[in-house]
Amino acid sequence: MQSTLSEPATSVTVQEGDVVHKGEVLAVLDTSDLEAQLRADQATASSNVATTSHAVYQGSLSIAQGADAMRAANAAVNQAKANQERDAAQLTRDQNLYDKGYVSLAQVQQDRATGRDDSATLDNANSQLSSARSNVQANGTLGSGGLQQSTVQQAQAQVAVAQAQAEQVQVQIDKATIVSPIDGVVVNRNFNPGEYPGTRQLFTLQQVDPVYAVLHGSGAEVANIQPGVRASVLAADLGNHSTFAGTVVGVLNQINPGSTDFQVKVVVPNPFRRLRPGMAIVGTVPLPAVRGIVVPETAFTDDNHDAVMTVQSDDTLKTTKVTEIGSDATDSIVTGIVSGTRILQDGQQSVGDGQKVQFTK
């Protein structure tokens, strides 16, 4: 076990040889600097939350003020249009009266000046209305885009960043409590109070329940072993009757390229911790049941084990193809012949098809 932190140890609670359980505390590192950083990040997050709240209220106010300004500008445009229409009508009346000699030229000129002022006022009101509309469009709403929503989103992003930083520091603080990931035994302790972890291995733990028994065998021995079958393991160091039941969990390929050494891994319950890593063991794994005819290993005509010499009804020999489906040190199980078939016990004798043999007891 190692640690990625650079803080020194305040306590180491286990010794070599101690039995530990999953989740048990092995050592605790000093986290005072990390806790200070955590408080700073949490304060920043709280400040950003307040900034976000302010942005929401300010955005709502700006949106409302923009809408009010647009309504006021629209009202000013309508008022300017009404004034322009009224003063235009007044100019028309005074012009007619002037043509008949009832009003002076000065009155008509005054009416014309008022009309020009009305046009300027209307232009200004239209400009104010256009500006108010642009402001409303730019502000948008808090839920459907615009300047105010983007301001709120920016504030929310700052909150998320500060919270993520605080969570990252909290993760580091949690890592400062080094706990056992397994039920096992401490076989090496390389860490003392006051020391910094560095990059070295601090603890070495061995799982002792269950344990893995590693069996070695040739290709022929492991060819038909399937994961999940029951196995029996004998530990000679514990006496001839110390047999343990286990389950095959894997058949591994050759250990060294070009060799015929294969491994069978068996998981063995070890609640009383009698088995210890490194003990020599032997194991037995039952193979799947097969059905066929038992013949002696010597009956095959060559090392391929695919033919035997059968004796016909007229006592002549015939080479018969067979398929070997199982074997031990002395006998093989084959298919291709039926029960009761007579065969030549030594298939590699210098005899051939058609030769006669004599049965002797």
User: Is 47 part of a structural domain of the chain?
Assistant: yes
Per-residue pLDDT of the chain (361 residues; tens, 9 = 90+): 889 898 999 999 999 999 999 999 999 999 999 999 999 999 999 999 999 999 888 888 888 998 999 999 999 999 999 999 999 999 999 999 988 888 889 998 999 999 999 999 999 999 998 998 898 888 888 777 788 888 888 898 999 999 999 999 999 999 999 999 999 999 999 999 999 999 999 999 998 889 999 998 888 788 788 899 999 999 988 887 789 999 999 998 877 777 778 899 999 999 888 888 888 999 999 887 888 999 999 999 988 899 999 999 898 999 999 999 888 778 899 999 999 999 998 888 888 888 888 876 5
Same domain, 38 and 134: yes
Structural domains counted in the chain: 4
What pLDDT shows up at residue 293? 93
What pLDDT shows up at residue 361? 59
The number of angstroms, rounded, from the C-alpha of 175 to the middle of its chain's C-alpha atoms is 20
What pLDDT shows up at residue 239? 81
Same domain, 138 and 238: no
What pLDDT shows up at residue 151? 86
Residues 6 or more apart from 291 whose CB is under 8 A from it? 333
Same domain, 23 and 59: no
Tokens of 116: 């020009």
Same domain, 82 and 165: yes
Same domain, 110 and 133: yes
Same domain, 107 and 43: yes
* Segments forming the whole domain that contains residue 315: 293-343
What pLDDT shows up at residue 240? 72
What number of residues does the chain have? Answer: 361
What pLDDT shows up at residue 141? 81
Same domain, 54 and 134: yes
Same domain, 109 and 156: yes
What pLDDT shows up at residue 259? 73
User: Is 349 part of a structural domain of the chain?
Assistant: no
Same domain, 180 and 141: no
What pLDDT shows up at residue 220? 75
